[in-house]
Amino acid sequence: MKLVYINNGKSTVFDSQVLALLKYYANNKFFEKVILIYGYQNRDEIDWLNKKGTNGITIYYYKSFPNYPFFNYLIKKNLFKLLRSISVDFSDYFFHIRGEMTSYHFKKLLIKLDIKQHQLLTDIRGVSIQELIEYSTANRIIKWLKLYNYRRAYTNLLKDQKISVVSEFFKKHLVSSIKVNESLISVNSCLVDESFKFNQEARVIIRKELKIKDNEILMIFTSGGTANWQNNDSILKLADKGIIVLNLSKLEINYKNVINRFVSYSEVPNYLSAADIAFIWRDKSIVNKVASPVKVSEYMACGLPIVHNGTVDLINTITTNNTDSLCIETLDDLKLTTILNIIQTVERNILSEKGLRFFGISTIAKSYNSFYTNNKNIQNS
């Protein structure tokens, strides 16, 4: 079996979620051949990707455009032109398409390329329609145009035989909202590569670098982006309580008890090991309810208990309150004594093992692969 993975555009999670998975496939000989087809809008993206280690992965590029209806024809045309130019027989390839919009464009080409529906997996990472409605600051016309495209893409999912989503609640949402057959949907949460695990040696080194004393609580907040639902400012209340907060995000916050760092992806596991507890605080919204935040996967893989407000269903499902997480309604409910009790009783290595069972790259890769190779056409059975 051979794999084509189609990814449209650069994102903050490309390295951790796309490239890491494809490297794992290539290094572990999951497929005879791994092809990445990358849709770029700016040629700088080609230079950016070419500088990354991609041994074992063959990369092709096509010119893509922003998500507006008047660009749909050009996107399909460029994608088709590229696929036609690749001198391979696609009948023994499986196509993993990241994102419902890219899948929507690709499905328009299936007949021309003689590709069967069971060769295609649409991988959906979030509820794009609700995200636009609730969080977009674009003007009304731009928002309407994007929504028009996403709504068509979602309706088109009814033609799919294989769909992957990031959480069980997302699966339920798709079944109830557009009546997708639940047996066609696989759940594959955001993964962590093999570097994410608790490292006691790194903990000592980083805490010394940050000048953190043994009796001080170091809480970590990480984010690769600055989206409105991240609620970066909420860490100010933590700092006011006397907690030292390591803000590992692009949004620098100059405040007492806040240490700002923005480090490379490869350095993140060491900083997570140095922390005592993690923090994620999101609005009550379907956008967050169905989510599988990358940071949650990374926190648990590094054995970090999590302080959260119960808005991400995945955290509620896989953690135990007051053992490896602390779920509170407001930050006023946060008590230092409770945090200390969790920190003192949690066994980081055991929690790390638990996180890797859920989110480890080997687990996710095997789950995807079993779904790729299941060629039963359930819709026609």
Domains, the chain, in order of start with CATH, read 2-191+362-380 (3.40.50.2000), 200-359 (3.40.50.2000)
Question: Is the distance from CB of 305 to CB of 277 less than 8 angstroms?
Answer: yes
Q: What percent of the chain has pLDDT over 70?
A: 96
Residue 76, SS3? helix
Q: Is the pLDDT of residue 130 over 70?
A: yes
pLDDT digits (tens, 9 = 90+) for 40-81: 999 999 999 999 989 999 999 999 999 999 999 999 999 999
- pTM above 0.85? yes
- Sign for the pseudo-dihedral over CA of 171, 177, 178, 179: positive
Over residues 313-339, mean pLDDT: 93
The residue among 169, 111, 164 whose CA lies nearest residue 374 is 164
Q: Which residues have a Cβ under 8 Å from the Cβ of 371 and sit 6 or more positions away?
A: 121, 162, 164, 186
* Amino acid 348: pLDDT: 95
Strands 185-187 and 163-165: parallel
Mean confidence (pLDDT) of the chain: 93
pLDDT digits (tens, 9 = 90+) for 9-34: 999 899 999 999 999 999 999 999 99
Q: Is the pLDDT of residue 228 over 80?
A: no
Residue 194 vs residue 376, higher pLDDT:
194
- Sign for the pseudo-dihedral over CA of 142, 147, 149, 150: positive
* Amino acid 230: pLDDT: 53
Helices of type H across the chain: 20-27, 44-50, 72-85, 100-107, 110-113, 128-135, 140-156, 168-178, 200-210, 235-240, 268-274, 286-289, 294-301, 313-318, 336-345, 348-359, 361-372
* Amino acid 377: pLDDT: 46
* Amino acid 74: pLDDT: 98
* Amino acid 375: pLDDT: 64
pLDDT grade, residue 378 (50/70/90)? very low
Question: Is the distance from CB of 248 to CB of 264 less than 8 angstroms?
Answer: no
Over residues 144-148, mean pLDDT: 97
* Amino acid 250: pLDDT: 83
pLDDT digits (tens, 9 = 90+) for 100-109: 999 999 999 9
Distance between CA 26 and CA 340 in Å, rounded?
43
pLDDT grade, residue 234 (50/70/90)? confident
Q: Which residues have a Cβ under 8 Å from the Cβ of 358 and sit 6 or more positions away?
A: 189, 297, 300, 318
